[in-house]
Structure 1
Amino acid sequence: MTETDALTAERARLRLTCRHLAGAGPVHPAEHFEAIAGWLREHGPHHTDAGFVPGLEPDNYGTGALVEDFEAEVAALFGLPAARFMPSGCMAQPIALRIWSDRAGNSVTAFHPTSHLELHEEGGYRELHGLHAHLLGEAHRPTTPADLLSLIEPGGAAHATGIASLLIELPAREIGGQLPTWDDLTALSRLCRARGIRLHLDGARVWQAAPAYGRSLAEIAALFDSVYVSFYKDVGALAGAMLLGPKDFIDEAAVWQRRQGGTLHSAMANIVSARMRLSACLERMPRLIERARKVAALFAVHPRAHVLPDPPHTSMFHLHLDGEREGLLAARDRVARETGIWLFPNLKPVPGEPARSSVELSMGPASLELDDDELAGAIALLFRA
């Protein structure tokens, strides 16, 4: 075994045996499937000593009570008429923008420069749906009403064509989970409606936004024409997403889902995984936001640590650390060996700052199990090391 292989193996051991600051912590993959099986034994058809007990049957190409009951539950949570379970947001969101563009007869949309559609989907909105996008606002902050006006008013890049839709991500992951102010968000909604622009919510992590704003999910959704949510982020379920909006919009989205091969014979495990975990996510999210702010403060007392945003808006934030990357990772490993706490995963370079690295910290159930004093000690040891 080479020295590099040995280091990789040691880091894997530490990651799997330590208590984690971020996320859910190490869990054997079988445990999740065992929980799904237990849920199905309780809620699905089964035999008892008293005989056969009917229950939920597997979904079939997007139909059946298993998925339709869940869609209705989530639609009610957001105060919207209809919802459709889909395999991923990479499918759901371009479909939403395509529908709004087709209805407007305008293939132009707009979203933040750090939108997932722009950075991580290989241009799917453009290559699959023929859409054209304006990147709106500055990359380091949330979109504002002034950004939209600068795009569509005289002199703006979209003044001649207009835009069919605007996508807003709440919270915006690539900028540390930042949120626009509630006043800016409501102003954007009013402006879009006044100008005939459909407003779509990238709500991959919207579960964090509701308690951060002190608003219900339905109050947030009321500002938008369509909404996407993810079930593997924060909820901790298997892969899966949901698109929500008016009934005719969702009916049209279901056709596009079928066209793209997204209507699986059965997505039973993914649906059950989301159904059984969603309520716990909603219950713990206010505590995770408080936890993120506490953890950020514990880091921020050290001059070599920089929190973005400070304080965190939601249950996630970005942490910038001064120092050479490999030295920081070695210090993290030492902390893990000496305290049993895994402070963060891999580090990324900060563009233009060779002596600084960054990491995203998203609070999950594991963070609630760590005592503040022992965490403060582990962070202090990181910088001493």
Structure 2
Amino acid sequence: MGQVEDEARRVAALKACRRVLANPARESIAERMARLAQEGAEAYDTTAPVDFYGDEASVVGEVERRTAELLGAPAAAYFPTGTMAQQATLRAWAGRTGNRTVALHPLAHPERHERGALTAVSGLRTVHPTTDPRLPSAAEVRDFEEPFGTLMLELPLREAGFVLPTWEELVATVEAARERDAVVHLDGARLWECAPHFGRSPADIAGLADSVYVSFYKSLGGISGAAVAASADVVAELRAWRHRYGGQLFMQFPAALSALAGLRNELPRLPSYVAHAKRVARALREGLAEGGATWPRTHPDEPHTHQFQLWLPYPADVLNEAAVTQAEETRESLFGRSRFREPDLPGLSMTEVTVALDALDWSEEDVRRAAADFAARLP
């Protein structure tokens, strides 16, 4: 079966499911438009004029004001993508510090998913205080042998398993950067769901840094879009860089409306997702083991956010076939659109599990039972 046919089979199976634990099937265009019309009207006056090149007296300006308020910052700038947002921010800091070197983790998004854009587009250089699958410690930042102008911290570190340090560790790492006269930028694409782990508000977390980027689609269910919060003078410069990078879009009201809807509807729900993810991870391990799967592991054992990794020692194609067959035969799906892949060793597979609104309908026993059924389909 070809890739197109395989994906069509998966989508059809998910559409027919009575319920999906994680990563449900994508909405149709008509479904997404209808939801945007309803949720957008609940979050903003949709009788107002559309935006015009991101003017502040529009829905885009409202997203910026609301983001700044939630993050306890003087101002925020809206960007069409997170990649552009961080390009502009790190380039601005390079000019202000006089140092074009950015210290970040080798698993961070700019290093793994942006085709070397920091160097190719912005002329920046990156260094890595640690290669361990966690954020750098205070000692690693303080003792790093090369100077750098900006320390970028991804919260959580997605590729390492959505992992976070303790609050005390994070504060110490930030203080170590300050001792070196470096500015601190937070890649907070998933900052919103970090609050329960730290026991702090998003504003408390953002207050540690000189700038923070947040996404409106990764956890909040928006169409697209991002923002960077910082001081008013930095945000003014970011708007200039946004124009240079091609982010001065004529109209962005659909994405901006969906951002406001996400802040209104999803943001208050995130703590319940994070709490339920701990139960889901435990039930997955127990159910898979009961069903006969070898060495089921979630990483972290207790998730730090509402997302975590599931590892199983089977080829990815075997696991993906079992997943779609289970969906077809039981009309229940554990993993939805998420596929297993073999990132390190052949035959050792991983998938990411995101616990959101649909997952709240699953009890631990529901997850355990479905996981045991899934395991029974494995060789």
Length-normalised TM-score, structure 1: 0.90
Q: Distance in 1 between matches of 2:281 and 2:247?
A: 39
| Distance in 2 between residues matched to 1:287 and 1:221, nearest whole Å | 21
SS, match of residue 326 in structure 1 = helix
Q: Is the 8 A contact 1:137 1:143 kept in 2?
A: yes
Q: Give CA deviations for 1:175-217 in whole Å, capped at 9, x if unaligned.
A: 1110011111101122222321100000000111012211001
Counterpart-to-counterpart distance in 2, 1:335 and 1:271: 37
Structure whose residues are more often strand by fraction: 1
Mapped contact 1:329–1:346 kept (Cα < 8 A): yes
Give the drift of 1:325.
2.4
Q: Which runs of 5+ in 1 are unaligned?
A: 46-54
Whether the 8 Å CA contact 1:23–1:365 is kept in 2: the answer is no
Q: Partner of 2:51 in structure 1?
A: 59
Where 1:80 maps in the other structure, the secondary structure is coil
Equivalent in the alignment of 2:112: 119
- Counterpart in the other structure of 1:238: 223
State the 1:11 CA deviation.
2.3
**Does the CA-based 8 Å contact 2:341-2:351 persist in structure 1?**
yes
Are 2:80 and 2:224, in contact at CA under 8 Å, matched by a contact in 1? yes
- Match for residue 36 of structure 2? 36
Deviation at 1:44, TM superposition (A): 4.5
Report SS of the residue matched to 1:354.
Answer: coil
1:187 aligned partner:
172
Q: Indicate the larger mover: 188-197 or 93-102.
A: 188-197
Residues 24 and 365, structure 1, Cα contact 8 Å, conserved in 2: no
Q: CA deviation at 1:369?
A: 2.0
Cα distance in structure 2, aligned partners of 1:327 and 1:41 = 45
Q: 2:2 & 2:246 partners in 1: Cα distance?
A: 45
TM-fit CA distance, 1:148? 0.8
- Give the aligned partner of residue 319 of structure 1: 310
Q: Partner of 1:107 in structure 2?
A: 100
User: Pairwise CA RMSD of aligned residues?
Assistant: 1.9
> Could you give the per-residue CA deviations for residues 44-70 of structure 1, whole angstroms, max 9, x where no partner exists?
57xxxxxxxxx5221111112322122
- For the structure 1 residues 293 and 126, does the alpha-carbon distance in structure 2 shift closer, same or farther, using more than 3 Å as the test? same
Where 2:70 maps in the other structure, the secondary structure is helix
Give the direction of change, closer, same or farther, for the CA distance of 1:367–1:39 in structure 2 (3 Å limit).
closer
Structure 2: how far apart are the matches of 1:240 and 1:369?
29
SS at match of 1:312: coil
Q: Could you tell me how far 1:129 is from its partner in structure 2?
A: 1.3
CA distance in 2, matches of 1:280, 1:182: 27
| Matching residue of 2:374 | 382
Task: Quote the residue 2:83 is aligned against.
Answer: 90
Percent identity, please: 34
Query: Aligned letter for 1:67?
Result: V
The partner residue of 2:320 within 329, 348, 352 is 329
Q: CA contact under 8 A between 2:23 and 2:354: conserved in structure 1?
A: yes
Change (3 A) 1:90 1:4: closer
Evaluate the alpha carbon distance shift between residue 123 and residue 4 of structure 1 in structure 2; reply closer, same or farther with a 3 A threshold: closer
**Structure 2 Cα separation of the partners of residues 200 and 7 of structure 1:** 41
Which AA in structure 2 matches 1:96?
T
Q: Relative to structure 2, which stretch is displaced further, 289-298 or 55-64?
A: 55-64
